[in-house]
């Protein structure tokens, strides 16, 4: 007697178990001259993954051989009988952090069908071992999860006191004017549901895009969750976040301008 015959004889219902499918996650890594860091970062992201996970490297045609290092990583991680886990997208006619992240988001959401999209800096200052905690926060109900330095359990040991003070001040300013949606508006360490990125596209320059995105998401009613992390010094290469106080002040001026612009937009729409 087969299982089906046995079930019919005793009039037992067919029970189907619907287990939740794990989320498909894509992590965007925007690179320019990150040859010494990119392979370690790719390995760290995939080794620590808690769900089906792909890495999309959006490289702005780095002259230092970053693309070749990504190809090497792809040889190690990709199998001919499975979808690729490491994907390199090289841009020749476009440059810039915000557009690189948006390019990766579009590939992840519209081409690869990702459920969750994440991104992070490529200098290893954002430990890839912390990424699963952001993904888990989204799986647990948040629309966006933000790696935060400025909350209990978080810290910044990568920058000097002047940079930390400026960052704290800007974030306090943003929370006061925009709203307490997050403790770290300038984070750049983000995970979010695909639906959010279908509704909100990135805009603004380096750093400003994050303030703008998180403010618009909070104002639109999306749920934001902060996840503490410790920002650590870059492992190799040249910093793109500012080499001295003058660089930080220059970026800070743009951040403050973005906060004012977002605040005016909130008032106009309320």
Per-position pLDDT tens, the chain of length 270: 444 443 344 343 433 434 456 789 999 999 999 999 999 999 999 999 999 999 999 999 999 999 999 999 999 999 999 999 999 999 998 899 999 999 999 999 999 999 999 999 999 999 999 999 999 999 999 999 999 999 999 999 998 898 899 999 999 999 999 999 999 999 999 999 999 999 999 999 888 999 999 999 999 999 999 999 999 998 775 555 444 556 656 666 778 888 988 877 766 665
Residue 47 counted as domain residue = yes
| Structural domain span for residue 77 | 22-269
Domain containing 146 — which CATH number?
A: 3.90.550.10
Residue 11 counted as domain residue = no
CB 211 within 8 A of CB 185: yes
Number of domains in the chain: 1
CB 118 within 8 A of CB 109: no
Residue 75 counted as domain residue = yes
Residue 210 counted as domain residue = yes
Residue 250 counted as domain residue = yes
Q: What is the pTM of this model?
A: 0.87
Residue 111 counted as domain residue = yes
Question: Buried (b) or exposed (e) across 142-180, using 16+ Cβ within 10 A?
Answer: bbbbbbbbbeeebebebbeeebbebbeebbebbbeebbe
């Amino acid at each position: 007697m087969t299982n089906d015959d046995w079930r019919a004889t005793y009039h037992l219902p067919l029970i189907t178990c619907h287990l939740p499918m794990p989320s498909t996650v894509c992590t965007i890594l925007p690179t320019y001259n990150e040859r010494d860091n990119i392979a370690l970062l790719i390995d760290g992201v995939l080794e620590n993954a808690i769900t089906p996970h792909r890495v999309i490297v959006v490289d702005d045609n780095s002259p230092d051989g970053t693309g070749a290092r990504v190809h090497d990583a792809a040889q190690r991680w990709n199998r001919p009988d499975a979808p690729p886990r490491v994907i390199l997208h090289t841009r020749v006619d476009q440059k810039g952090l915000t557009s690189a992240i948006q390019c990766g988001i579009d590939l992840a959401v519209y081409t690869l069908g990702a459920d969750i999209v994440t991104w992070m800096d490529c200098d290893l200052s954002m430990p890839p071992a912390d990424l699963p905690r952001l993904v888990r926060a989204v799986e647990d109900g948040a629309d966006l999860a933000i790696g935060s330095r400025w909350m209990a359990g978080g810290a910044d040991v990568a920058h000097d006191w002047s940079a930390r003070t400026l960052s704290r001040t800007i974030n306090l300013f943003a929370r006061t004017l925009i709203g307490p949606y997050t403790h770290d508006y300038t984070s750049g360490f983000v995970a979010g549901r695909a639906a959010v990125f279908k509704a909100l596209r990135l805009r603004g320059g380096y750093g400003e895009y994050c303030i703008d995105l998180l403010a618009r998401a909070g104002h639109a009613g999306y749920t934001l969750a902060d996840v503490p992390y410790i920002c650590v010094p870059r492992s190799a290469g040249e910093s793109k976040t500012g080499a001295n106080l003058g660089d930080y002040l220059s970026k800070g001026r743009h951040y403050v301008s973005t906060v004012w612009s977002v605040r005016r937009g909130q008032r106009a729409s309320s």
